[in-house]
Structure 1
Amino acid sequence: MTSSISAWIWSERFWLPENVSWADLEHPPPGVEYPRVGHILYALPLAVGVFLLRLLFERLVAKPCAHILQIQAGVPRQAQPNAVLERLYLSKTCPDMRQLEGLSKQLDLDVRKIQRWFRIRRNQDRPSAQKKFCESMWRFTFYLGIFIYAIRHLWVSPWMWDTRQCWHNYPFQPLSPGQYNHYVAELAFYWSLMFSQFTDIKRKAAKLANYAKYQRLCDGLFVVFSISFFLTRLVIYPFWIVYSVLFESWEIVGPYQAWWLFNGLLLVLQTLHIIWFYLITRIAIKAIFKGKVSKDDRSDIESSSDEEIYSSCSKNPSQTLNAKTSSPTGNLNGETHDH
């Protein structure tokens, strides 16, 4: 059964043009190397090394840079230990009004004090600006380095200037050391994210300036980003890459089953580029009228205060009303009065 599943996944009729088999790619001419499926496995041990390198980079490079820029880790306020509230928090960080009222009766505490405990407890789990800065700096450094390496390799490649050469004698095309190093490094990097995807904070490289409170630099980087996004995603990508895969490959190689999949995915990505650029344009328009870059609509919402976190969890305005009309009946987090 395993062999049949493998044969279905790696079907030659699907992935390769007519009259080409995997065996044909196993025996290249002397001194020539073809891409192999086994090359994917080489990136696995390298991914572990990339992950360890990231830990060293964040500790030895990014964190000292954060100190120089006066980006502090910060110590969030600690919530008063409470086993009942902590048990509910582990299953639901934003309890609804029914649960709050039940806790109020069970613990003999004011609803608003319980709401405040949950706000403080959520803040404890929020990553600090320093942690966000370190993660963003690591990604920025890798992307910048791999971009420079790729441009250096592409610049001397003949198919960089004549995309039709990408399809001559396809798929029997030599694999250069530069291509191999680039793709294995990229694959190892993204596989290394599998080890940290549950703890990473997704941030953009321009966030570095934001965390350092350099508003002018942040605005300038946004302008550079917008221009580069437009040129690469809405000009070079559709009129150079998609055109070559869609039309030049049809003319030189001819369509096969995987050809339809590849082009379909490329067109879906182009649709996303248009949507993303629309959101970027909205931010740019707001920046023109407000004088600075506003919040990125594509990013996850980052609350800047306890009240913002609280309001994002409140689904019913009556929660606040009920909380305000309740009388204080207990002391939580060392507070005896509502404010």
Structure 2
Amino acid sequence: MATAAVAGALGLLWDWLWSERFWLPHNVSWADLERPGVGNFPRARHVLSAFPLAAGIFSVRLLFERFIAKPCAIHLGIQESVPHQAQPNAILEKVYTSITKCPDGKRLEGLSKQLDWDVRKIQGWFRHRRNQDKPPTLTKFCESMWRFTFYLCIFCYGIRFLWSSPWFWDTRQCWHNYPYQDFLIMFVHHLATIGLITFSYINNMVRVGTLVMCLHDSSDFLLEAAKLANYAKYQRLCDTLFVVFSVIFVITRLGIYPFWVLNTTLFESWEIIGPYSSWWLFNGLLLVLQVLHIVWSYLIAQIACKALVRGKVSKDDRSDVESSSEEEDVPTGNKKCPYDGSSSNGANQVNGHMRNNCWAEE
């Protein structure tokens, strides 16, 4: 009895989770998509193939960074750097593990008395200890070169496919004959992303998904190119690429995205297929994404303006600025706070925000 009750409850939960009235327009069922001869459509189970493909892409990335990116970095004069090792100390290591940053004044004085160390020496220990956990410039260069190559290839592939697609030129085509549509390019893109993409794949919104993917890919590779130039110490090139990235980001996210993509997902789709349950969720997520675009564009504009006014994009917030030997000779009262916002690198700061964009990345 108990087993039958559990099975029945699970069956009800399964039916609720995959309710056709939530996922699909009216008068369309899952069985319609399974009929032979109708076409080859996405299946929810296809998402499982993301796991072996992710392992394959990760292997390609390791080979790329080892045999292509690293030799390029060395050719540009970027060498493997070993940060200054902090003196082993169990007490300070325990404090570092709990807070990772230099303690406040009162606790610092207590540690000074406990260890019989000068306060400045303890501050230096925490600075060196943090730098041990930061990736060297060579590693960051290889990571950025991989992302630059991947984003550029994906964007070029998307443009090549979409150029001959009718919905690239007329967004109303995204909703004609929905949900009986192709899925090849979205299948390839979906395997590398989560969130909205998983939702759109199950929901079969593949045409409009290709537009969103290509739109967001248009600026990602420029950000990575700017970071590569920064690591290679080509500052002028870095600044130029970052400004170009900023302009394209703002145009695509604040111009093309709302007036092209949101226009079709909100208004043209309403007119052609009408709203249904998952339609509201889908557009709600896209509107949340637009709010994030506004926030990111504001942050990027600030950084780009600083680059234009000062003639230099700020340093990488993961760099080893704290380990500089010059800092050791600067009086504490005159030393710039290592966590000052002006010391953050625009490219890495923006990249951190953009990785949360489930249409873009990662």
Fold conserved between structures, TM > 0.5: yes
Provide, for residues 211-268 of structure 1, a one-character-per-residue CA deviation record: whole Å limited to 9, x for no partner. Answer: 1011121122123212321332122211111111111100010011111111121122
Distance in 1, Cα, partners of 2:106 & 2:280? 52
Runs of 4+ with >4 A deviation: 299-303, 307-310
Tell which deviates more after alignment, 302-311 or 59-68. Answer: 302-311
Q: Give unmatched runs, 5+ long, in structure 1.
A: 192-202, 315-339
Distance in 2, Cα, partners of 1:79 & 1:126? 13
Within the candidate set 46, 49, 73, 1:66 is matched to 73
TM-score scaled by length of structure 2: 0.74
Within the candidate set 295, 310, 322, 1:305 is matched to 322
Question: Cα offset for 1:179?
Answer: 4.2
Within the candidate set 37, 48, 54, 1:47 is matched to 54
Q: Give unmatched runs, 5+ long, in structure 2.
A: 1-8, 199-222, 341-362
Alignment correspondent of 1:290: 310
- Asked whether the equivalents of residues 150 and 182 of structure 1 are also in contact (C-alpha less than 8 Å), the reply is no
- Asked whether the equivalents of residues 239 and 311 of structure 2 are also in contact (C-alpha less than 8 Å), the reply is no
Instruction: Say if 2:246 is the partner of 1:220.
Output: no
| 3-state SS of paired residue (1:127) | coil
Distance in 1, Cα, partners of 2:58 & 2:170? 37
Alignment correspondent of 1:239: 259
Distance in 2, Cα, partners of 1:46 & 1:310? 46
Q: Match for 1:260: what amino acid?
A: W
Tell which deviates more after alignment, 178-187 or 208-217. Answer: 178-187
Within the candidate set 141, 149, 165, 2:149 is matched to 141
- Asked whether the equivalents of residues 254 and 294 of structure 2 are also in contact (C-alpha less than 8 Å), the reply is yes
| 3-state SS of paired residue (1:7) | helix
Alignment correspondent of 1:180: 187
Distance in 1, Cα, partners of 2:289 & 2:186? 23
Q: Percent identity?
A: 64
Q: Match for 1:129: what amino acid?
A: T
More helix by share: 2
- Asked whether the equivalents of residues 131 and 320 of structure 2 are also in contact (C-alpha less than 8 Å), the reply is no
Question: Cα offset for 1:302?
Answer: 5.2
Alignment correspondent of 1:266: 286
Instruction: Say if 2:38 is the partner of 1:12.
Output: no
Question: Cα offset for 1:271?
Answer: 2.0
Question: Cα offset for 1:114?
Answer: 1.7
With a CA cutoff of 8 Å and minimum separation of 6, indicate the structure with the bigger relative contact order.
1
- Asked whether the equivalents of residues 28 and 34 of structure 1 are also in contact (C-alpha less than 8 Å), the reply is no
**Equivalences for residues 91-170 of structure 1 within 5 A:** 91-94=98-101, 95-170=103-178
Q: Match for 2:169: what amino acid?
A: W
* Pairwise CA RMSD: 2.7
- Asked whether the equivalents of residues 137 and 319 of structure 2 are also in contact (C-alpha less than 8 Å), the reply is no
Indicate how the Cα distance of structure 1 residues 226 and 114 shifts in structure 2: closer, same or farther if over 3 A, else same. closer
TM-score scaled by length of structure 1: 0.79
Q: Match for 1:274: what amino acid?
A: I
Alignment correspondent of 1:83: 90
Q: Give the paired residue count.
A: 296
Distance in 2, Cα, partners of 1:21 & 1:7? 13
Q: Match for 1:86: what amino acid?
A: E
Tell which deviates more after alignment, 67-76 or 283-292. Answer: 283-292
Question: Cα offset for 1:289?
Answer: 2.4
Distance in 2, Cα, partners of 1:45 & 1:262? 27
Within the candidate set 282, 285, 299, 1:279 is matched to 299
Indicate how the Cα distance of structure 1 residues 49 and 93 shifts in structure 2: closer, same or farther if over 3 A, else same. same
- Asked whether the equivalents of residues 149 and 182 of structure 1 are also in contact (C-alpha less than 8 Å), the reply is no
Distance in 1, Cα, partners of 2:298 & 2:111? 45
Question: Cα offset for 1:55?
Answer: 1.2
From the CA coordinates, give the structure whose radius of gyration is larger: 1
| 3-state SS of paired residue (2:337) | helix
Question: Cα offset for 1:303?
Answer: 6.2
Distance in 1, Cα, partners of 2:116 & 2:317? 36
